[in-house]
Structure 1
Amino acid sequence: MRIVIAPDKFAGTLSAIEAAQAVAEGWQRVHPETETELVPLSDGGPGFVAVLHTALGGKVVSREVSGPLGTPVRADYLLDGETAYIESAQACGLHLLSASERAPTRTTSRGVGELIAHAVTDGARTVVVGLGGSATNDGGAGMLAALGAEPGSALAAGGAALASLPGAVDLEPARRATAGARLIAATDVDNPLLGLHGASAVFGPQKGADDDQVQRLDAALAAFAEASDPSGTLRESPGAGAAGGLGYGLLLLGGAVESGVARVLTAVDLAARVASADLVITGEGSFDSQSLRGKLPHGVARTAAEHGVPCVVTAGAVSVGRREAAAAGITETCSLVESAGSTEAALARPTAELRDLAASVARRWGH
């Protein structure tokens, strides 16, 4: 028997690589003779570079860049031939801040622009920017400032400062700095920049914004949109609101929005790996209604279904019904919280509990 183990991260507890290893260990505890292929995955958020490096090889380049509050941080990107893969969260991620430091009115995406500049200087002709897990809500203004857009000091001062821009934004220096490279925003978030479904309203509270700050940030992004794209076309684009509006910033530079899941599944050639498998196991922290709107386990299940291979989802928590899951190509869902007995137990021992859950799956599916 041959199984492919292809999970996303279990946010806050296990990386995709750790989750894949735990599932493999649990399965082989029951069926040590099974051939297991580990294919840890990412949708563009945290883990994007590590997952692609595992799959593609290439060269990991480490640079010091501005963090979300301006303090220098080390951030890696992957250079594979003439394609660079950047994980925006490494420069402006929420995980870089403690809970008391979360300040979406002040955090900046400047470090992402610095990473893009490094990648272009290092010879990248395609720059894929994975979006997700950001601590920022600045519409990509900080990123643009790092690439030369003016007024640089105002653009790099955080989301709230965009309400006081002195005039039109000059994007030409930033466009010249990236003229030799094709920019791709890798995300499966389809939110626009503004409004009820925009960056501030949907994601601002996760980054520490209260109701008043959400309103201020949305108004500030509206002012930024007027100053940077008076025609108003890009602000409504699906994905413009991803990563606090970093999607919008990349669109201003002529970038394209692509599915982060599809990009990763293609990069690791999941279809070829699944075609010769007897079973696929995927997973994530919370398998819920959003998971069926194009998140990573849904993409894995769809690929498995195309090859007639059953797919099992192991997740921290499962809130999707059996019928909905089956319609998405998922054969079975398994909850870590249920098997562990409580959320507290699952969070306290995530690796051990995931091993035990995988062993339970192996007893039902192994032959």
Structure 2
Amino acid sequence: MRVLICPDKFAGTLSATAVADAIAEGWGGDTTLVNTTLVKRPLSDGGPGFVEVLAGSVDGRLVPVPTVDPLGRPVDGEILLAGPVAYVESAQACGLHLLTKAERDPNTTSSYGLGLLITAAVEAGATEVVIGLGGSATNDAGAGMLAALGAPPVDAAGYALPYGGAYLNAAAGLGGEPRLRDVRLVAATDVDSPMTGLHGASNVFGPQKGASREDVYRLDAALEVFAGVLERAFGVSDLQNQPGGGAAGGIGAALIALGGRVTSGIGLVTSSIGLEHELDQASLVITGEGSFDHQSLRGKVVAGIANGARDRGLPCVVLCGRNETGYREAAAAGVTETHSLTELFGSEEEAMARPAEGLRELAARLAKQWGSL
């Protein structure tokens, strides 16, 4: 039997690598399963862990880059250089995990730090920069990123706007040209959401970043204004409705305006690490993430893995922190069964406090259930 363990991170608790390790430890604790091979392939859909996961399989080198968090405080980042291609992770600078709950405010958080990471990649000589998008605390449609690249949003009088999504309602243009040296950009997204509207960045993801209902309306309107600025500045059209434009608080839309190509983050990662081959060899697939909900089935890790397992007729088990997806919806995506830490422990607090322990216990149960497959 060959068990493929390929989870995403459990946001706020464990990295994808730590999740895979815990599952393997739990399954391997049953010494009766001598004919089982465990294959660990931690994954990322473009969000936190994107660079770490790729660094484990792509022939390249990690380069430390000092940057700033969504509130402008210094943080350590890194880029992965693989020949002419550089891989950058937006969450290293814009990540929600960099802020406390009290600090979350998408009205004022900025993507400026991502611009510093991209600048470092350009200065290192990359001709293509692949930017993993996901897990962001920002809703500024890449305005901060553009400022760091030399094209800050300005008002009608030509003054640079304060950082944050809420101030984009006064945007009238850009105060310069982005310093990109004709580098090709690729946006590796974790969602296919558009920039604005009911399914856009502000409405869908704003609340988890600290936005009130009033904030959501304000931010969506501000992004609509900024979309017009980007369209005029870069000669693009219909920017608000482009799939993936809503990724990372609208950073996807800014990258599209800059001529960037949108691709599936999970698709890029799975291709880079040879996951298709591993799926072909597997008997059982175990994947998962912290919160298994309706967003999970819109371009995230679980959806990509479950679809691949379904196409091969493989059972696919999801282990998660909490499960908010209906059985039929999950089954249609290729999920055989789902087990959550909140069900195991009886509370979200315990699940957050003891994730590795819980995953080991769930994996041990799966070993007894599926070990004779």
TM-score (norm 2): 0.91
1:259 aligns with 2:264: yes
| Cα distance between partner residues in 1 of 2:9 and 2:227 | 33
Which amino acid letter does the alignment assign opposite residue 21 of structure 1?
A: D
Tell me the residue number matched to 1:243.
248
Tell me the residue number matched to 1:162.
168
| 8 Å Cα contact 1:141-1:156 kept in structure 2 | no
Alignment of 1:7-46 (within 5 A): 7-31=7-31, 33=34, 34-46=36-48
Which amino acid letter does the alignment assign opposite residue 333 of structure 2?
A: A
| 8 Å Cα contact 1:183-1:256 kept in structure 2 | yes
1:285 aligns with 2:290: yes
**Pair 51,26 (structure 1): closer, same or farther in 2 beyond 3 Å:** same
1:228 Cα deviation (Å)?
2.4
Q: Which stretch has the larger CA shift, 155-164 or 78-87? A: 155-164
1:232 Cα deviation (Å)?
4.4
- Aligned residue for 1:154, secondary structure, equals coil
Tell me which of 62, 65, 71 is aligned to 2:64.
62
Tell me the residue number matched to 1:333.
338
Q: Which stretch has the larger CA shift, 21-30 or 234-243? A: 234-243
1:22 Cα deviation (Å)?
0.5
1:346 Cα deviation (Å)?
2.2
| 8 Å Cα contact 1:183-1:250 kept in structure 2 | yes
Which amino acid letter does the alignment assign opposite residue 150 of structure 2?
A: G
Which amino acid letter does the alignment assign opposite residue 79 of structure 1?
A: L
| Cα distance between partner residues in 2 of 1:94 and 1:149 | 25
| Cα distance between partner residues in 2 of 1:326 and 1:104 | 35
State the Cα deviation string for residues 178-201 of structure 1 (Å, max 9, x = none). 243211111132222222222222
> What is the identity percentage for the equivalent residue pairs of Structure 1 and Structure 2?
55
Aligned Cα root-mean-square deviation (Å): 2.0
1:189 aligns with 2:194: no
Tell me the residue number matched to 2:121.
119
- Aligned residue for 1:116, secondary structure, equals helix
| Cα distance between partner residues in 2 of 1:322 and 1:164 | 45
Aligned length, in residue pairs: 363
| Cα distance between partner residues in 1 of 2:315 and 2:271 | 20
| 8 Å Cα contact 1:145-1:156 kept in structure 2 | no
Q: Which stretch has the larger CA shift, 154-163 or 192-201? A: 154-163
| Cα distance between partner residues in 2 of 1:86 and 1:348 | 30
**Pair 329,200 (structure 1): closer, same or farther in 2 beyond 3 Å:** closer
| 8 Å Cα contact 1:109-1:156 kept in structure 2 | no
Tell me the residue number matched to 1:309.
314
Query: 5+ residue gaps in structure 1?
Result: none
- Aligned residue for 2:360, secondary structure, equals helix
Q: Which stretch has the larger CA shift, 14-23 or 150-159? A: 150-159
1:151 Cα deviation (Å)?
4.9
Tell me the residue number matched to 2:110.
108
Tell me the residue number matched to 2:92.
90
**Pair 259,342 (structure 1): closer, same or farther in 2 beyond 3 Å:** same
- Aligned residue for 1:56, secondary structure, equals coil
| Cα distance between partner residues in 2 of 1:131 and 1:214 | 20
